[in-house]
Amino acid sequence: MPLSLAKMRRQYTLDGLDEAQAPDDPMVLFGLWMQQARDTESPPVEANSMALATVDEQGQPHCRVLLLKGFGPDGFVFFGNYDSLKGQDLAVNPRAAMTFFWPGLERQVRIEGPVHKLAPALSDAYFESRSVASRLGAWASPQSQPLADRAVLETLLTQTEQRFAGQSVPRPAHWGGYCLRPERLEFWQGRADRLHDRLDYRLQDGAWQRTRLAP
């Protein structure tokens, strides 16, 4: 029997998002929502998981799920392989969009803006916080490149383990951090009967302007 998706829906029941209770700074609201997601979402949901969209030189968009590793006044931080398809996209078109979805809270946040690489020292510090196995994997995997089979990857890992046996594993030059500096954030709160709340923040002349959008 064919799988039917047309009638798959849920009724949202939690409290709405009121402008009177929303801060003027969207980073404050994001921090509040992220903390609430960390406190309430249950595994396998990771509160810091996000969909990251980039665009290649042909104008083709690409989207994948990553983990946010930090945020603050400067923007939103994530890490990866600079030579991957994601890295290639950002090299030719250094703008991106990210979306967080927290189903338990019936919320999502959309963020858009330019992206730049982190300073090497910041990438080094994060890389050193990762497990040795993860550091070895960053060296071993030619991310986004074709592989004949799984055995090729395992051979590359074995060779990398032998290369760094008995010594510290430094950050490879092709791996590091990015920071998305937000120019737009949209906060979405599910409401009954699809009449959702949407608050849209846009950076204009150095100040955030907030607008309610129709669902």
User: Is 131 annotated as ligand-binding?
Assistant: no
User: Is 33 annotated as ligand-binding?
Assistant: no
User: Is 117 annotated as ligand-binding?
Assistant: no
User: Is 4 annotated as ligand-binding?
Assistant: no
- How does strand 184-189 pair with strand 207-212? unpaired
Residue 212 is among the residues annotated as catalytic for this protein: no
User: Is 67 annotated as ligand-binding?
Assistant: yes
User: Is 143 annotated as ligand-binding?
Assistant: yes
User: Is 180 annotated as ligand-binding?
Assistant: no
Q: What is d(CA 154, CA 106) in angstroms, rounded to the nearest whole number? A: 40
Phi, psi dihedrals of residue 185, rounded to the nearest 5°: -135, 135
User: Is 134 annotated as ligand-binding?
Assistant: yes
Catalytic residue among 150, 194, 210, 212: 194
Contacts of 56 (CB under 8 A, 6+ apart): 62, 85, 88, 89, 92, 93
Q: What is d(CA 129, CA 163) in angstroms, rounded to the nearest whole number? A: 20
Residue located via tokens 């490879």:
172
DSSP state of 193: G
Binding site as annotated, residues for FMN: 64-69, 86, 108, 143-144, 188, 198
Annotated binding site: 9-12, 64-69, 86, 108, 126, 130, 134, 143-144, 188, 194-196, 198
State the binding site for substrate: 9-12, 69, 126, 130, 134, 194-196
The residues that are catalytic are 194
